[in-house]
Amino acid sequence: MGWFKRSKQDDSKGTTPNIMEGMWIKCTVCRATIFKREVDRNLKVCPKCSYHFPMSIEERVDLLVDAGTFQEWDVDLIPNDPLQFEDTLPYHTRVSNAQRKTGKQEAILTGRCEIQGISVATGIFDFSFMGGSMGSVVGEKICRAIDRAVADRLPFLLVTTSGGARMQEGTLSLMQMAKTASAIANLQEARLPYVVLLTDPTFGGVTASVAMLGDVILAEPKALIGFAGPRVIEQTIKERLPDGFQRAEFLLDHGMIDQIVNRKVLKDTLATLLMHCGTGAMSA
């Protein structure tokens, strides 16, 4: 019983990679074949290796947010096509297809909610919408959410899953990296907490900007996090990368993130963190 009602289309099409047709699922990391219902009961966590399968945005809200408290912002803000970009399909067609497939207007959900009674401004990326790519509307929604967080003295939580900047918007998309970073500077100037949760996958321009600027950066176990993908890097440098390269555990060992948090305790961890940071403002 969550804030969202899942559509039949969501169930039939699915938003989670590597889910096989039928009753079985193959783990992305350990390659074990597991009974799908067992994975679903385990919050979409592999019982063999603890890999955290991607969640739909509805499942993510149900996991993190107190029931009935989510108030969505900027629901009618939708992308335009100022460049009239076209590859195998016109950009406006790709956007329309994504909107029809997902029932969403864009690749991020923003709003105000409560996490164990703590009021929070939040943004949650949706990988099912064009790979969670950050275009001009995604950047604008993040900035507007931060503006509201500053006005209402709220902490800001960003949950990322993205392939990076949206190539169909060219420079307009790349501009969002600087734009969102500037908005985060305003949040920090106001002494308000900024917490990031990195989920699988988080890549490209999102990693290179808004995702890695948190006061506290959390990640789910075995999440892939980076700029260019490992295959691209290997092909470029002509060398084999270390085992586990770009997984959350590798980033933790090298000081790039603060903590890896299992999904079962994620909500409790966020609430504790926000409580210690202060729900009104960070101490000087």
pLDDT of residue 19: 47
Residue 147's alpha-carbon distances to 156, 165, 264, in angstroms, are: 10, 22, 31
Q: Can you tell me the distance from the alpha carbon of 29 to that of 86, in angstroms, rounded to the nearest whole number?
A: 35
- The overall average pLDDT reported for the chain is 90
Q: How many CB atoms lie within 10 A of CB 141?
A: 24
pLDDT value of residue 241: 86
Spans of all domains in the chain: 55-277
Q: Which residues, 6 or more positions from 277, have their beta carbon under 8 angstroms from its beta carbon? A: 155, 193, 195, 215, 216
Q: What is the pLDDT of residue 1?
A: 37
Specify the pLDDT at position 22. 65
* CATH entry, 55-277, from 1.10.1740.10, 3.90.226.10, 3.50.30.60, 3.40.50.800: 3.90.226.10
Give the pLDDT score at 15. Answer: 44
pLDDT at 21: 55
What confidence score (pLDDT) does residue 128 get? 96
Give the pLDDT score at 82. Answer: 87
Q: Give the residues of the chain that fall short of pLDDT 70.
A: 1-22, 279-284
What pLDDT shows up at residue 279?
57
What per-residue confidence (pLDDT) applies to 10? 42
